[in-house]
Structure formats: structure tokens, C-alpha cells
Amino acid sequence: MDKFLITGGVKLEGEVRISGAKNAALPLLAAMILADSPITLNNVPNLKDVNTLVKLIAGLGITMDYEGETVKADTSTLSNQFAPYELVKTMRASILVLGPLLARYGNAQVSLPGGCAIGSRPVDQHLKALEALGAHIEVENGYVHATVDGRLKGADITFDMVTVGGTENILMAAVLAEGTTTIRNAAREPEITDLAQMLIEMGAKIEGLDTDTLVVTGVESLHGCEYSVVADRIETGSYLAAAAITGGRVKTTHTDPSLLESVLDKFEEMGAEVTRGEDWIELDMMGKRPKAVSFRTLPHPEFPTDMQAQLMAVNVIGRGFATISETIFENRFMHVPELSRMGANIQVEGNDAIVTGVEKLQAAPVMATDLRASFSLVLAALVAEGDTLIDRIYHIDRGYENIEAKLQSLGAKIKRVS
């Protein structure tokens, strides 16, 4: 099993190109199922999760051509509507094929999903909403079997809680439903807007983008198009955090500052100089030790839960103390014991973590527990004295493209070992 070996103490400097967003690419790939003519998706990151979903969609009989940063799909060859456990178990986003398959073909059999163990994240919101659209749902032997007679019917849907995956699944189902669907308490993440914009390019009628109420007027069919995945705001924030924790200066390119304002505000509060351009962000820590800052994770446009672990790592070596409140997932402090092994001073009280900054961290063998926690350990290792060995880095490969090459280009001493 691969591991990262990182020698700390290097101030990161340079420029790094940001990849397309994993969290946007996955629903966009699922939406390709809806196209009745060939469709092309550009700026697709080469990640384990992306490869898994491409393989899953190809397993439906759809012709998939994945080369470089481009995926092309032709649904005319589809032969079944079955997503098996063997593929779905590794990634929760696999459930996103449920809505498109049901809407277009009237039938879908999808295994209940797996993925990072950072909370229950039940799919009941997806299923209740699909039932409201007229689907018949049966859950048996670990599979969701959804059917509908004819077309789905538009409905007024209100989610009990903000759910990104649920919003995406129902949005993809509603675009082919008969009549009008109103989705209330919809998630507002940029990746959802990206999905809606591609669906509109395909011929869908959607109003209310960037708000918590989406109004979808169903159409009979969607056609193919050519579309590019939005920049990965979490990858962007992660590399800026690497500059902040090492006292360095990093410029992220091919990104969008407007998607990350709540995080950039916190970097500035830490004492960093943050400069924004149309498609780039530069963070200069000017060799200073960052100031510890408090924050609370909330749905977009507030501070994203996917940046919580990274900012905690920066806080660990910050001046003073800070309180971090995690309100999205109930089990997302699994990186705390690993950071503590390196000398961090963190006390967890329920959904709050109180971080008292220390001047130095010490290298130690640590283990990644989920995708974003993995990067927090990389950050800590970049400033720790000595050589840190990070195990179970398959988690990080799910969401960060060419991470060691990108960090090496900034001066980091990191290598992959077996």
C-alpha cells in the first residue's frame, strides 16, 4: 500500500495549476446519461473517483472515451440500468446515476453507496424526493430499485436538510419530468450551479441558479453538448493552506476566487496577503507564523466543511488559540488524533475543536482517515521536524490530482513509497 514520505521545513514557493473540481465532475459525468446524442466533458481531473464513475457508466453499456482531460459519451449503446456494489461501494457519488437513469429510462437498480466514513449521509432524502416525482422505490438486499410508469411528474419538493447529492440527483431527474418541479432548501454549492449550467446547455429549463429554490420545467429530451468542469475550489484552498502553514508564497492558477471568498477571508485574518485575479489567487505569508482563527462550517456560501481539516492544520502551528465548529458532518474530526501524534494541542468537545497553537511539530508515522483529513496530515508534515510517513494515502488520491508532483514543483520534499 502506497505511503507518502515528507521531510518538513521547506517554505513553499511557486505557481500551481488547479484541476477541474472532483465534486463537479462526478455529477456532470452522471448527467451525460441524460443526453440522447454524443456529449463531451473537458477539464476532467484524473482521479480515482472519476475513473470509478467512468467505469460504472461504461458498465451500463454506454460508450465512454476518456483521454487526457476529456471524456466523451455516447448513450445510444446503453444496454442496462444496473450499478453494481463492486463499483458503488468505493464512492458515495455513485448514487448520482439513480436520477438520470430513472428519468430517461424509467428504471434503475443502484447499490447503496460507500465512500469516506465521515458521517451517516443517508440517501433517504434522494429517495423521498424521487417518490414525490412519481417513482416507485424498493430497497432490498442493499440495492435501490426505482421504476416509473411513463415519465416522472413534476412536484413541489422541500428537502428536510441541505443535501448536495440530493439536490443534484433530483435536479437531474426533474429536467425530464413532465411539468414543473420546484426544489426548495436546495444546496447552493458552485458545483450545483455548474451542473445546472451544463443541463441548460443540453436543453434543460432551470431557474433560480445560486439560490436555495430551483424551478425546473421538464422537457422531453436533452441533447449532447461540449462543457468544461469548473475549477476545484477545495484544491485551490488546500494549496493556499500549504503556503500559509510553511510561511511561503503560492499562486494558484486556472481557478476562480469568487468560489472561495469565505476561506480567503480566513487566510487574511491569519495575517496572509491574498491577491486575487480573474482566474488566479496568490497567498503570501511573508515568512510569518499565521495567527490562529476560529470558524464554523456551514453550507455554501459560508465556510466549507471540505476545508475544515486543512485550516485546522494551519491553526495547529498558529499564534494563540481558536475554536473550530463542525456543523455538517458528525464524525469529521478523525484527523485530530493523528495531528496530536505530531505534537498538536487540540481538545475536542462534541462538535467543537479547541486548537492551541504550538511553535513546532514533530515528525511521526500517521494514517489518513478520509480525503480532506489526508491533506491536513500532508500540511502538518510540511512543517514538522524530521521525516513523516503518511499511510493509507489512497484516500488523498480520490480527490487530489498529481499531488506529489504539484507539491514538488513548489519545493516540497515529498515522495511516494510502497
Dihedral sign for Cα 118, 245, 274, 44, please.
Answer: negative
Residues at the binding site for UDP-N-acetyl-alpha-D-glucosamine are: 92, 121-125, 306, 328
Q: How far is C-alpha 401 from the chain's CA centre?
A: 13
Q: How far is C-alpha 57 from the chain's CA centre?
A: 19
Q: Which helix (H) or strand (E) holds 15?
A: strand 13-17
Which one from 116, 229, 274, 322 is the annotated catalytic residue? 116
Whether the Cβ atoms of residue 370 and residue 336 lie closer than 8 Å to each other: no
Within 8 A by CB and 6+ apart from 203, the residues are 219, 221, 222, 223
If you search the block for the grid coordinates 515522495, which residue do you land on? 415
Whether the Cβ atoms of residue 252 and residue 280 lie closer than 8 Å to each other: yes
C-alpha cell at 40: 463531451
Is 225 a catalytic site residue?
Answer: no
Rounded distance, CA 10 to CA 1, Å? 26
Within 8 A by CB and 6+ apart from 11, the residues are 246, 247, 248, 287, 411
Among 15, 28, 63, 70, smallest CA distance to 45 is for 70
Residues at the binding site are: 22-23, 92, 121-125, 306, 328
C-alpha cell at 376: 491536513
If you search the block for the grid coordinates 515568512, which residue do you land on? 287
Query: How far apart, in Å, do the first and last CA atoms of the chain sit?
Result: 6
Among 136, 44, 52, 64, smallest CA distance to 92 is for 52
Q: What letters, b where the CB count within 10 A reaches 16 and e where it falls short, cover 381-409?
A: bbbbeeebebebbebbbbbbbbbbebbee
Residues at the binding site for phosphoenolpyruvate are: 22-23
Rounded distance, CA 280 to CA 185, Å? 31
Among all residues, which ones are annotated catalytic?
116
